[in-house]
C-alpha cells in the first residue's frame, strides 16, 4: 500500500525560471518525496502518537534575502544558507488520532544558493535542489549532523534517497563541505 503524501510546494512568481517554467512542479516533487517515504526503513518512519494515515509537508523555494532572514530569526546566523528544515515533530503539536496525516514540517531552499552550489559542484540545478530537499527531508525525520561522522552518515543516506529517484551524485565529502553555504 502506498504511503499518502499531502505536499504543498511554494515558489514566489518572481523566482520562476526565465523560460516561464517552474522549479516547483508539485507533481515532480510529490513523486520524489513519495519515493523517499517508501524507501524509509521501519526505524526511520515517523509515527507520532498513532500510525499515521499519511504525511504532509511544505517545500518552499525562495531567494537568499528571505532565507537569510529565516536563518537569522531561527538559527541566529545572519547569512544566507542553502536549506532550512522546520520539523513539526520537534514541537508539541497534538495528534488527533490516525485519521489525519502526520505533519512532518517545512523545508525551505534558497534558489540563489542552490544555483551557485550546482555551478561549483559541476552538476545540474535540479540535482542540487533534489540534494537539498533530501537533506531537509532527513532533518524533518530527526536526522542531525553535529559532527563530521554524523554528517558523513547523513550525506550517504542522501545519496541513497537520490538514487531512489534516479539522480546520481558524486559524494566527494571534502568538496561538498567546502562548497556548502554556512
Which of 17-26, 71-80, 82-91 comes out lowest in average pLDDT? Answer: 17-26
CA 68 – CA 146 distance, rounded (Å): 21
Residues above pLDDT 70, as percent of the chain? 77
pLDDT at 148: 86
Its CATH architecture, for the domain 4-178, is: 3-Layer(aba) Sandwich (3.40)
CA distances from 24 to 17, 40, 164, 173 (A): 10, 24, 19, 28
Mean pLDDT for the stretch of residues 165-180: 68
pTM of the model: 0.86
In this prediction, residues 44-55 reach a mean pLDDT of: 68
DSSP line for 103-165: EEEEEEEEHHHHHHHHHHHTS-HHHHHHHHHHHHHHHHTT---SSHHHHHHHHHHHHHHHHHT
Nearest partner of 83 among 129, 123, 124, 127, judged by Cα: 129
**Residue 86 and residue 90: Cα distance in Å, rounded?**
8
Predicted confidence (pLDDT) at residue 43 exceeds the cutoff of 90: no
What is the per-residue pLDDT for 87? 93
CA 58 – CA 40 distance, rounded (Å): 19
Banded pLDDT at 181 (limits 50, 70, 90): very low
pLDDT in tens, 115-168: 999 999 888 999 999 999 999 999 999 999 999 899 989 999 999 999 999 998
Determine what percent of the chain is predicted with pLDDT higher than 90.
54
- The confidence score (pLDDT) of residue 53 equals 76
Amino acid at each position: 500500500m502506498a504511503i499518502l503524501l499531502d505536499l504543498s510546494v511554494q515558489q514566489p512568481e518572481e523566482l520562476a525560471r526565465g523560460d516561464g517554467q517552474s522549479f516547483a512542479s508539485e507533481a515532480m516533487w510529490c513523486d520524489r518525496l513519495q519515493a523517499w517515504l517508501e524507501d524509509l526503513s521501519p526505524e526511520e518512519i515517523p509515527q507520532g502518537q498513532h500510525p499515521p494515515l499519511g504525511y504532509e509537508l511544505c517545500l518552499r523555494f525562495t531567494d537568499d534575502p528571505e532565507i537569510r532572514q529565516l536563518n537569522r530569526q531561527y538559527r541566529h546566523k545572519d547569512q544566507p544558507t542553502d536549506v532550512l528544515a522546520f520539523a513539526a515533530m520537534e514541537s508539541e503539536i497534538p495528534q488527533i488520532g490516525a485519521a489525519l496525516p502526520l505533519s512532518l514540517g517545512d523545508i525551505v531552499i534558497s534558489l540563489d544558493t542552490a544555483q551557485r552550489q550546482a555551478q561549483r559542484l559541476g552538476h545540474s540545478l535540479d540535482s542540487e535542489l533534489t540534494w537539498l530537499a533530501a537533506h531537509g527531508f532527513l532533518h524533518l525525520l530527526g536526522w542531525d549532523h553535529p559532527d563530521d561522522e554524523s554528517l558523513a552518515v547523513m550525506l550517504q543516506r542522501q545519496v541513497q534517497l537520490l538514487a531512489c529517484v534516479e539522480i546520481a551524485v558524486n559524494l566527494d565529502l571534502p568538496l561538498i563541505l567546502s562548497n556548502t553555504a554556512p
